[in-house]
């Protein structure tokens, strides 16, 4: 079950965290994984580690906020591999702050990556998918795209937009054989979260507070999100499109 043999998968923000876990799980399932990340050196190093494990992998340096670069990288992939079966829009950035603590430039920065990045890459791959009448797009949104989170105005605004874009694309392209879904994680222990915790005066207390947000009393792991991505990428989920897959340890259950 959940085989991705012979599939070509593009994953943005794939050099670390959730993205790298998805890439490793997809590689293990038989996919050729294309690692896209703005940190090119890290992407190249991670790609080599995947290759050493026997997985098929390639990397490109890419800032998803750059529309022309998204199309250029997609053309390069299509020239080499002939198609894109799966796109995982994972790249994203965060921000802490209320409306009064968020500047217009803060909102623009998050929008350029979290929303335009998804738009740019989806628009780049869709023509080939539509022509072939087969394709699968998975957007990594957030529980912050389902319910409001205090002090996360810009982040929630952009993640609600990703959920809306997911549903719109799913409806628009369903008859062309394209499935589009999103995953909405709660707090996940990634290098990004660890770095934020280190900024607190009491990192241990901050970690406990973050863990307590989930009903089950802990944060998630990147591999738990990757497992959901594997299901959505596989043929076993062929009747699933337009869905927001909530994986939040019960965070939203009582809301």
Q: Annotated catalytic sites, by residue?
A: 155
Helices 191-198 and 203-212 cross at an angle (nearest 10°) of 130
């Amino acid at each position: 079950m959940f085989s991705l043999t012979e599939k070509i998968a593009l994953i943005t923000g794939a050099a670390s965290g959730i993205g790298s876990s998805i890439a490793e799980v997809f590689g293990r399932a038989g996919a050729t994984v294309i690692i896209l990340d703005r940190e090119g050196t890290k992407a190249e190093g991670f790609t080599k580690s995947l290759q050493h494990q026997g997985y098929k992998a390639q990397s490109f340096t890419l800032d998803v906020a750059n529309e022309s670069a998204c199309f250029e990288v997609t053309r390069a992939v299509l020239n080499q591999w002939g198609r894109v079966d799966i796109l995982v829009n994972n790249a994203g950035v965060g921000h802490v702050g209320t409306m009064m603590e968020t500047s217009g430039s803060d909102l623009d920065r998050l929008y350029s990556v979290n929303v335009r990045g998804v738009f740019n890459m989806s628009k780049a791959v869709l023509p080939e998918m539509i022509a072939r009448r087969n394709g699968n797009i998975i957007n990594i949104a957030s529980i912050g795209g389902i319910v409001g989170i205090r002090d996360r105005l810009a982040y929630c605004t952009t993640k609600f937009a990703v959920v809306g874009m997911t549903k719109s694309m799913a409806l628009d392209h369903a008859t062309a054989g394209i499935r589009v879904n999103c995953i909405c994680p709660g707090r996940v222990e990634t290098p990004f979260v660890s770095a934020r915790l280190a900024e607190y005066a009491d990192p241990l207390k901050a970690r406990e507070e973050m863990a307590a947000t989930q009903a089950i009393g802990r944060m998630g792991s990147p591999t738990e999100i990757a497992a959901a991505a594997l299901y959505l990428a596989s043929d076993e989920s062929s009747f699933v499109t337009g869905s927001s897959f909530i994986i939040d340890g019960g965070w939203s259950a009582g809301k």
